[in-house]
Amino acid sequence: MSKSTNRQECCRSPSKTHRRRSHLNVVIPLIVVLGIMTGLVSYSVTLYRLFCAATGYGGTTKRVATDQTQISTRVVTVRFSTDVAPGLPWRFVPAQREVTLHLGQDTLVFFKATNLSDNSYVGHAAFNVTPLKTGIYFKKIQCFCFTEERLAGHQSVEMPVDFFVDPGLGKDPDTSDVDTITLSYTFFPSKQPDGALNLARFANAKPNAVDGQKIFATRCGECHALNKNIIGPPLGGVVGRRAGSLPDYPYSVALKQSAIVWNAVTLDKWLSGPQQDVPGSLMPVRISDPRTRQDIISYLKAESARAAKNMGTTH
């Protein structure tokens, strides 16, 4: 090859190299952009959920570890709505239609799920609250909606939801008109059934005095206290006491003459239907779900034992 040809090749090579670099400068950013876009599409649902959880957008509730807020004097009513999507043969209903609670009050409620089929199914619960603007203040500590849940054929369970409404709702001008919040759930067939938790863990749970205290506050606290008359008589020390025996409360004649002594069995029968248990009694409220009754009774037993211990100490 001649020296002239070599010089020509040398002159052309830098130009080709420059063009390659120019092309790479265009192609590489395009690949990066396409990669980012692909990632955003792949994780769009997850990112949207994280955004909603952080902001309360769309009525999405927030998840917290504990309730460390001060209880406010302001009260709100929380109502419950449930639904099941096509393809999941479950019945899913709230154990209570609504509860009234103070802002900041740790509250425990239950939902009942029944698998109507012969086969095991895994479901996932979607949820939100309305008005949508309350989502950022509605905070859950425990909920079956956090995980994929498996329910065996023809099995029924009562599932707890532990939540509170942040007192910040009472300070926000945008929520000054809110006195009722609706918490809605819809169970869908799970798209990620592997590793699902078994709802049987709730069916096997033992009565819990801590849970019972939360339930007592929302389901019983409007009418009953432990140490004073309200609408109903005080219930501190009720376990082991004869029904209708406190001197400072106007019991019905029927309850005074019933000869009932309150224990776990008699309290459960009473709470499941006072009018049926003692015809002519005055208590109008019944608690139909057994799990809720057992937690309340567990709490009353613990308080009665504490009262008896304190009485023994003082004497």
Domain ranges across the chain: 1-42, 57-203, 209-314
In this prediction the pTM is 0.73
What pLDDT score was predicted for residue 22?
65
3-state secondary structure the chain: CCHHHHHHHHHHHHHHHHHHHHHHHHHHHHHHHHHHHHHHHHCHHHHHHHHHHHHCHHHCCEECCCCCCCCCCCEEEEEEEEEECCCCCEEEEECCCEEEEECCCCEEEEEEEEECCCCCEEEEEEEEEECHHHHHHEEEEECHHHCCEEECCCCEEEEEEEEEECHHHHCCHHHCCCCEEEEEEEEEECCCCCCCEECHHHHCCCCCHHHHHHHHHHHHCCCCCCCCCCCCCCCCCCCCCECCCCCCCCCCHHHHCCCCECCHHHHHHHHHCHHHHCCCCCCCCCCCCHHHHHHHHHHHHHHHHHHHHHHHHHC
Token pair belonging to 215? 């339930």
CA distances from 198 to 121, 144, 194, 203, 251 (A): 10, 10, 11, 10, 45
| d(C-alpha 63, C-alpha 138), whole Å | 9
What pLDDT score was predicted for residue 55?
45
What pLDDT score was predicted for residue 131?
96
What pLDDT score was predicted for residue 52?
45
Superfamily of domain 209-314 in the CATH hierarchy = Cytochrome c-like domain (1.10.760.10)
Mean pLDDT, 10 residues at a time, the chain of 315 residues: 49 58 65 61 42 51 80 96 98 95 95 97 96 96 96 95 96 96 97 94 89 92 93 94 95 96 96 95 90 94 89 59
| d(C-alpha 152, C-alpha 174), whole Å | 44
Q: Which residue carries 């009353």 as its tokens? A: 300
Residue 234 and residue 246 in contact, taking contact as beta carbons nearer than 8 Å:
yes
Paired strand residues for 76: 101
Residue 164 and residue 69 in contact, taking contact as beta carbons nearer than 8 Å:
yes
What pLDDT score was predicted for residue 23?
61
Residue 243 and residue 255 in contact, taking contact as beta carbons nearer than 8 Å:
yes
Token pair belonging to 105? 């009050």
- Alpha carbon 168 to its chain centroid, in Å, reads 19
The CATH architecture of the domain made up of 57-203 is: Sandwich (2.60)
Q: How many degrees, rounded to 5, is the angle at CA 297 between CA 291 and CA 299?
A: 105
